[in-house]
Amino acid sequence: MLGQKLIALLIMVIPAGIAVWGIKLMRDVFYLAFDPSYTGGSLWGQFLLGLVLFVVPVLFIGGFILHHDRKRNRVQPRFMKRDPDEEE
């Protein structure tokens, strides 16, 4: 039981750390864009990398929580899986 909880914690902490790193990259781009002494090249690549590193882990964590809550029947009916053949 403790091992399962530890694995679940790692599944949540590792993507959260990656998302924090993505926010840091985007923040650095924002500050460099307004720095008059910056003479480097384009910052779009770093910003897009930071955006991807933020969005993908957040979606992963959201999907993990939704899957966990669906297994325990703790979500509203609109978030439950539906059969494709079922019509409303």
Kindly tell me if the per-residue pLDDT of 31 is higher than 70.
yes
Interval 68-83: pLDDT, tens: 888 888 888 888 876 6
Kindly tell me if the per-residue pLDDT of 87 is higher than 80.
no
**Contact present, 32 and 74 (Cβ < 8 Å):** no
Domain boundaries, the chain: 2-34+41-79
> Distance (Å, rounded) from C-alpha 36 to C-alpha 47?
18
pLDDT band at 36 (very low <50, low <70, confident <90, very high): confident
Higher pLDDT, 86 or 52: 52
